[in-house]
Amino acid sequence: MSTPSAVAATFERHFGYAAPLLVRAPGRVNLIGEHTDYNQGFVLPAAVDKELYFAVSLSEKAQIRLVSHDLNETCAIAPDQVHRTETQWANYLLGVVAQLQKRGVAVPGFDCVFGGNVPIGAGMSSSAAVECGLAFALNQLLGTGIDKMELAHAAQKAEHEYAGVMCGIMDQFASLFGQAGSVVRLDCRSLEYDYFPFDTQACRIVLCNSGVKHSLADSEYNKRRQECERGVEILRRHYPQVQSLRDATLEQLETHRDELGPLTFRRCAYVVRENERVLAACRHLEQHDLAAFGQQMYASHAGLRDDYEVSCEELDVLVEAARQVPGVYGARMMGGGFGGCTINLVAPEQVEAFIGQVGAAFEQRFGRVPETYQTTSVGGVSEIGPGGR
C-alpha cells in the first residue's frame, strides 16, 4: 500500500526532480441513504481514512505524463490531444483534464504520480478519489479558483464521459467535502448539505467485503431506476407536484397501490421510507444516540433486501452475524447491491471480537473468511503539509 513519501519518491525517481505539490484524496462510505441519490433524495456519506496520494507538478514539456504507483504503469499524452484511451485508470485522470478544458482552463503539460490504500472494488469510491485528487491539485497549481462544488461536478462528469459510469454526485462530493469527526447529509436535489457529529471515539466504521462481484448490479440498477420513474409517472397523474420520489408520501403510494402494482409499489415505498430514515438518523446523531442510529441501518438493510431486492445471501449473512455481536450498533449492505460490502458501526473495544465472530459465521456458511477494513471519518481532499496532512 502506498504512502505519501513513497509516491513522492517515485515521482522524483521517475521524472528526475522533486514534486512541489502533494495531495491526499479520501475514499468514502455511505452510512445510510442507498438508491436515494437518483431519486433526488438524501444521502449521508463520510470521507474515510483510506486515501489516494498525488505528487503533481506543472511541466515545460507539452506532455501530460501519468504514473500509477500501485500498478507500475505509465501513460503520456499531449494536452491538446486528450481523449479516452485503452488505459482504464488513466481515463479517470484524463477525464478531469477534459472537464477543466471545457471550463476554459488552459491545462499545460504536467507530471503526476498517484497511489494509495483505498481498496479497489470495496465500495469506497476509489475512482472518485482519483478524479477529485487531480482536480484539486490542478486547481491549486493553475490558480483557477474553481470552488469545491464545481470541482465535484467536473469529477462526476469525468466519470460519465471518460469512464462510462453514470454515477450520482455523492462520491465526488464526499471526497471533497468530508470533515473529520463528522458525516455530511447531502440533499441530492438542491445540493444543500449539513454536517452532523460522528463520535470517532465511540464508534469505528468496519466494512466486511462479501467477495461477491456486482455481476447483476448494472442491469438491475438501471431496472430499479426505471421502476422508480414509472412510479413517479403514475403518481404525477394524481399529484402534479410529485417531480420525483423525494416528493411522494407513503399515504399517496397506499392510495394508488393497485394502479402501481405490487412491484412498483414496493420499490417506491422503499425509497420514500429510506429518505425518512436518513432524516431520522441525523436526529439520532445530534442526540449522540448511536444505538437508535443503528436501528435505522438495520431497517435500511431489510428494505434493500425485501422491497428493493438488491441484496444477496452473502450480504444478508454478514448483517445477521453482526446483529449477534455485542457492541455492534448497526449494520447494512452498502452500495448498489448484489455484492460488495456491509458497513458496520462497532464500539472500538469490540472490533476484534466483531471481526472474529462475523468472519467465523461467514466462513462456516461459505467456506472463506471475508476481508475487513477498519476506517474512521476524515477531512476532504487537501494538500499534504510537512506533517503529513
Predicted confidence (pLDDT) per residue in 3-54, tens digit:
999 999 999 999 999 978 999 999 999 999 999 998 999 999 999 999 999 9
Q: How confident is the model at residue 1 (pLDDT cuts 50, 70, 90)?
A: low
**Model pLDDT, residue 388:** 43
- The answer, yes or no, to whether residue 323 has pLDDT greater than 60, is yes
Adjacency order of strands within the sheet including 371-375: 328-333, 341-346, 204-209, 371-375
- The answer, yes or no, to whether residue 386 has pLDDT greater than 70, is no
Q: How is residue 95 written as a grid cell?
A: 477525464
Q: How confident is the model at residue 389 (pLDDT cuts 50, 70, 90)?
A: very low
- The answer, yes or no, to whether residue 128 has pLDDT greater than 80, is yes
CA distance 362 to 369: 6
As a whole number, mean pLDDT of residues 230-255 equals 97
Kindly report, residue by residue over 258-272, the tens digit of the pLDDT: 999 999 999 999 999
- The answer, yes or no, to whether residue 217 has pLDDT greater than 60, is no
Task: Reply yes or no on whether 218 is catalytic.
Answer: no
As a whole number, mean pLDDT of residues 287-316 equals 97
**Model pLDDT, residue 201:** 86
CA distance 197 to 332: 20
CA distance 186 to 189: 9
Mean pLDDT, the chain, as a whole number?
A: 94
As a whole number, mean pLDDT of residues 123-138 equals 91
Q: Which of 171, 258, 306, 307 is an active site residue?
A: 171
- The answer, yes or no, to whether residue 349 has pLDDT greater than 70, is yes
Q: How confident is the model at residue 387 (pLDDT cuts 50, 70, 90)?
A: very low
As a whole number, mean pLDDT of residues 74-86 equals 96
As a whole number, mean pLDDT of residues 122-146 equals 92
As a whole number, mean pLDDT of residues 325-347 equals 94
Q: Which of 61-75, 83-97, 200-214, 306-320 has the lowest mean pLDDT?
A: 200-214
